Structure 1
């Protein structure tokens, strides 16, 4: 294991770090925290929220950051200048559980424990409409075409699909889960909604057929906290309090025979959030251990862990060019991490070497990790090549001993 370069190094290598540096001013014109000179992974701290930051996103071609908070506000930040551009507040009467952006970045959707979903005009910060529910709203997500909003509820363990313009209810699926829905989101084709729950199940609802097309019972051994689709809609990643992430091939249904790809031993606490990079080569996760993990999907190993938040990480995001990782935390801050040169850091190289057994894919000839595979066979193709073909090329394992013994 490589040595830690200094007490403020956010690249976690199994050692605890001291508390984060003193906060900067929280005024709207405040600057961000400076890059730490001794850090191998440079980062900036963004402060301004007064309570836990529940959700965060890159937007406007990665020039802006959108965040929501338990302080009942949503804030839009300018990345380059490090200043607030817009504040959406004084409408919600309880913590905001999540915020979501429509594709043209002109409208913001928020869900709250005040039992409402609200739409906001990005430019003016004015509220456009409000939908009232009978229970707490735990999650919200706007479809990729901007036409619909899905929200997850604790009342009747339901999901609700609403017209994003008229604010009229389109579908209400009660008792969709056996317990509170923790996260729901549209697939990139705008035809299916994935939802996860305290009941440990994963469900996909087809909006055209108006029925559940996939149910994965006991998808994890504990509460499933988050889910996200890859941009091509082929993979669904789920994060759980069982400290693992799982990647499911939902387009071909191959997981029914061979199970999901399991990403484990990345966190020491319950995993709270997950997100694919735009090209699905990375998965970023945040957890109750206060850390962010960056996973290389092709080779199946954890590249690095980013450490520095003072409390558990509630949400994560990754920029389109994979240069920046964004995290929001219960410590009321956001952190922007520059991982552009991470591949050259000795610790990342060491993690890659000892993370798992690396073999060469017989199709694309790129390296991949056997850590990805749950199959009781010898896997000769990487996950991308295996998912691109109807069947996997799996050879039987040679016997470990003579059948007569």
Structure 2
């Protein structure tokens, strides 16, 4: 079956999965279709050292999947009474938090499937996230455009920030150090709340030209990525405050429709985005250019995730399915090779002689930061320092 023209999925049993690998005709990337949810799949994650997948859906359930078989191994249902907007695993992969339009946030034991606590809030809960230390849960509520922080052990409300935005908050998350909370909204603003100072320390109004649908921190906390209905993705240097002088780096024409989601790789070299144009785009962060476009979903892509080893991409869709893409050998795909050739080399400054020298785009961050002449003269190697992002025209 041509993955670009898959027919409407027929109702299937909850535990059904497709074990055969298919290959996308255009990208030549192998993929599997994961079926089991009966509604839009709203959120997806890799967990348990990339051996398991965690998903949730508007069908009011969450599921834990085995990556090797692409089949669900645990069903978390019967608790929420409305669509689940998001799920988020704890760092130790023993617990999970879910947010729902039934105005509750629930904390689950992943092994037993038992709800450890449930907190009722004043309005629809549009998103949730667990802090990097696992101690706190943050969620966004549409009433009062509020952000609520809950202690994951006691289920007590630690913080309730009302009117953080002027319109519905679409997504909120902790930074990697659990020191700040980023929230984005349909009011087109980005706000960062400092947990120590107990106030908003960064407020970027008019960050996009339309609703901001998602936000994601790089693992080192240096970059913040935002995705928007204005069809763009933006990278913000928030730690150095560089965005105040030069603005963000924009990935324009990211998708032909609204961008729904974005996620960094663990090393920060790769970015994955999903859109309402039914595609997933893989980006090279250093060049701010497209590497690969994945097609096949028959409806909006709601969320994307990238495994820690960058071998797998998981995409969740409104078509009630997930797709597991094997990108381990994507550097050998003709389309990726052609994209790199078209982008050409980028320049870096030699730390020894201070002269510029060309380097090719690659995902490996452990490349040299000395020119070939200085490397030969000193026989030393190092890591490439951060190179300022420069926008180039993405390839369609």
Task: Please state which band the TM-score falls in when normalised by the shorter chain.
Answer: 0.7 to 0.9
Is residue 2:38 matched to residue 1:36? Answer: no
8 Å Cα contact 1:192-1:204 kept in structure 2: yes
Distance 2:263 2:158 in 1: 27
TM-score, L = length of structure 2: 0.87
Distance 1:314 1:18 in 2: 19
Distance 1:298 1:366 in 2: 14
Is residue 2:50 matched to residue 1:94? Answer: no
User: What is the Cα deviation at residue 266 of structure 1?
Assistant: 2.4
Q: Secondary structure at the match of 1:100?
A: strand
2:386 aligned residue (384, 394, 397): 384
Distance 2:87 2:271 in 1: 20
Residues 32 and 169 of structure 1: is their aligned pair in 2 closer, same or farther, counting only changes over 3 Å? same
Q: Which residue of 2 aligns with 1:398?
A: none
Distance 1:256 1:368 in 2: 30
Distance 2:385 2:41 in 1: 34
8 Å Cα contact 2:98-2:106 kept in structure 1: yes
Matches within 5 A, 1:5-404: 8=2, 17-19=4-6, 25-28=12-15, 30-36=16-22, 39=25, 40-354=28-342, 356=343, 358-363=345-350, 365=357, 367=359, 384-386=386-388
User: What is the Cα deviation at residue 385 of structure 1?
Assistant: 3.5
Q: Secondary structure at the match of 2:387?
A: helix
User: What is the Cα deviation at residue 31 of structure 1?
Assistant: 3.5
Residues 236 and 22 of structure 1: is their aligned pair in 2 closer, same or farther, counting only changes over 3 Å? same
User: What is the Cα deviation at residue 366 of structure 1?
Assistant: 5.7
8 Å Cα contact 2:24-2:296 kept in structure 1: no
Distance 1:180 1:226 in 2: 13
Number of positions where the alignment pairs a residue of Structure 1 with one of Structure 2: 361
CA offset digits 1:96-135 (Å, max 9, x no partner)? 0000011111111000000000001010001111111111
Q: Which residue of 1 aligns with 2:367?
A: none
Distance 2:254 2:236 in 1: 18
User: What is the Cα deviation at residue 239 of structure 1?
Assistant: 0.2
User: What is the Cα deviation at residue 52 of structure 1?
Assistant: 0.2
User: What is the Cα deviation at residue 183 of structure 1?
Assistant: 0.2
Residues 357 and 83 of structure 1: is their aligned pair in 2 closer, same or farther, counting only changes over 3 Å? closer
Gaps of 5+ in 2: 352-356, 362-383, 391-396
Distance 2:172 2:10 in 1: 33
Distance 2:24 2:229 in 1: 33
CA offset digits 1:5-30 (Å, max 9, x no partner)? xx83x6xxxxxx322596695342x3
Distance 2:134 2:313 in 1: 25
Distance 1:278 1:113 in 2: 30
8 Å Cα contact 1:300-1:368 kept in structure 2: no
8 Å Cα contact 1:206-1:213 kept in structure 2: yes
Gaps of 5+ in 1: 1-6, 11-16, 370-381, 393-405
Residues 219 and 124 of structure 1: is their aligned pair in 2 closer, same or farther, counting only changes over 3 Å? same
Q: Secondary structure at the match of 1:257?
A: helix
Distance 2:184 2:236 in 1: 13
Q: Secondary structure at the match of 2:286?
A: coil
